[in-house]
Chains A and B, each alone.
Chain A
Amino acid sequence: MNSVSDQAFAIRASKGDVEAFKMLVEEHSGLVYRVALRILGVEDAKDASQEVWIRVWRNIKNFRGDSAFSTWLYRITVNTCLSVRRKETRRKEREYGGEEMPYLPEPRGGDADPEAAALGAEQREEIQAALGHVRAEHRAALVLRHMEGLSYSEIAQILDVPEGTAKGWVSRGRAAMLVTLAEGKHGRDEAGGTTR
């Protein structure tokens, strides 16, 4: 489905056409679940996705078509996920007190090794766990930028912040994630007695 047909289905759904809404749900349920999974983790992703679609149905009469339907949907998805995470404790950021800069060890076969590039279950869990340690707004921006591949102008629209703020959030999220991943790697290496 392209953005023109998305728009057409959204307009029909805004007039109460459930079949058109069904087309939108079937087409975009993957997007909603994927983003919720990255921002919230597997435990909350399902409930959040259901909540997103209920909000979409309730609010679709307000969809004016000024932006692409997918941008509007991303916005509802991210807002729903952030409202779930609003009570999270704020972590102290913008300060790094480590003695040396964080780093991730090179994979065994080197960076060019395609087998090393494919993610194993353990790596997936590491990434998801590290994402969970990034402040929710920064995590959302990071997911939209580096996992969904959106531009800063799209991210700013979705998060309803100026483009500069979106860039700052991505940058902080990226740094916080690297620190967490590196801490996890070294912690495990030390515990397991392995060295790089």
Chain B
Amino acid sequence: MMPAGEQRWEVLERIGSYSAGELEDGEAREVEELLFERPEYRRLAESYARMLVMLATLGNEPVEAPEDVVGYALRKAYLSAFLRSAEAFAGALGRSYIDAFVYYLGLRRESYGGGT
């Protein structure tokens, strides 16, 4: 048999699901019977309803991110994009120099620039 503390927790959760309108018809009717029989449970259901209203009210209040959150994210993105393109540019430049040097030393027959 389930310990009393766990049983009470289960009732607590079921009445919470009922108050949030998340129970199927049959389960909801069972909970309604409990509420009818026990004023303590009715009070619990009312408390849940109050709490859910408070949560929804707070959830609907507009919240703006601090300016520096947005600024910081954008600075990071611009910096990383700049570093990415600088890296690509330096890579391409380096490869061109190596190609030119190899051609200069006569180690490769075709002309620099990909021609023949």
Contacts and interface: CB of A to CB of B under 8 A. Distances in A.
B9, B51, B61, B73: most-surrounded residue (chain A CB, <10 A): B73
B43 interface: yes
Mostly, the A contact residues are helix
Nearest to B20: A174
Contacts of B61: 119
Contacts of A95: 3, 5-6, 8-9
A101 B62 contact: no
Nearest to B56: A146
A171 B17 contact: yes
Contacts of B69: 29, 33, 46, 49-50, 53
Interface in B1-43: 3, 5-6, 8-9, 11-13, 16-17, 20, 22, 40-41, 43
Contact of A101 (B3, B20, B40): B40
A127 B59 CA distance: 11
Contact of B65 (A30, A96, A107): A30
Instruction: Categorize the interface residue count of chain A.
Output: 35 or more
Interface in B69-93: 69-70, 72-74, 76-78, 80-81, 84
A33 B69 CA distance: 9
A138 to B, nearest CB: 11
A102 B16 contact: no
Interface string B43-66: 110111111111111110111111
B41 A101 contact: yes
Given A57-B73, A111-B50, A174-B16, A101 B44 contact: yes
A148 interface: yes
A46 B16 CA distance: 32
B12 A96 contact: yes
Contacts of A143: 59
Nearest to A99: B8
A184 to B, nearest CB: 12
Contacts of B51: 104, 174, 177-178, 181
Given A30-B65, A178-B51, 18 more contacts: A18-B81, A21-B77, A25-B70, A33-B63, A53-B73, A57-B80, A95-B8, A97-B8, A100-B40, A101-B8, A103-B46, A119-B54, A142-B55, A148-B59, A172-B13, A174-B17, A175-B9, A181-B51
